[in-house]
Amino acid sequence: MIDTDTMTYVSAVNVAIASGNLPATVLRTDTCPECQTQLDADGGYDDHLITFVNGRLIVVIGCEGYWVIDPNAVGIASPTWMSLETQAAMFNG
Ligand SMILES: [Zn+2]
């Protein structure tokens, strides 16, 4: 189910986190923006991809496949990537 692009994204995110150079602003949330579930370390996130940064749970990929962390911030040029806020603004005019 995870394709090559997604694998590249996940590994770039891991490298960026390990480097400590990732801006805090892109480590966005412990809540999946697609199902609005707040994920926790006890489980319940089977369809989500998460990571931990300094003990804080961060959603990397939502349950519908959305890349929560801006791929451009981890070195993957993705001119079509939009934050959920941007998408919402477009759809709401
Ligand atoms: Zn979800």
Q: Where are the domains of the chain?
A: 4-92
What is the rounded CA–CA span in Å between residue 17 and residue 27?
Answer: 9
Q: Measured between alpha carbons, how far is residue 77 from residues 13, 27, 52, 72, 81 in Å?
A: 13, 18, 24, 5, 9
Q: What separation in Å is there between the alpha carbon of 38 and the centre of ligand 1?
A: 8
Q: What separation in Å is there between the alpha carbon of 11 and the centre of ligand 1?
A: 21
Per-residue DSSP letter, 48: S
Q: Tell me the pTM.
A: 0.87
pLDDT at 44: 65
Q: What separation in Å is there between the alpha carbon of 66 and the centre of ligand 1?
A: 9
Provide the pLDDT confidence category of residue 5 given band limits of 50, 70 and 90: very high
Q: What separation in Å is there between the alpha carbon of 59 and the centre of ligand 1?
A: 9
Mean of pLDDT over the chain: 89
Q: Is the pLDDT of residue 87 over 70?
A: yes
Q: Is 80 exposed, middle or buried (0-12, 13-18, 19+ CB in 10 A)?
A: exposed
Mean pLDDT over 25-51 rounds to 87
Q: What separation in Å is there between the alpha carbon of 22 and the centre of ligand 1?
A: 23
Q: Is the pLDDT of residue 93 over 70?
A: no
Residue with tokens 């998408």: 87
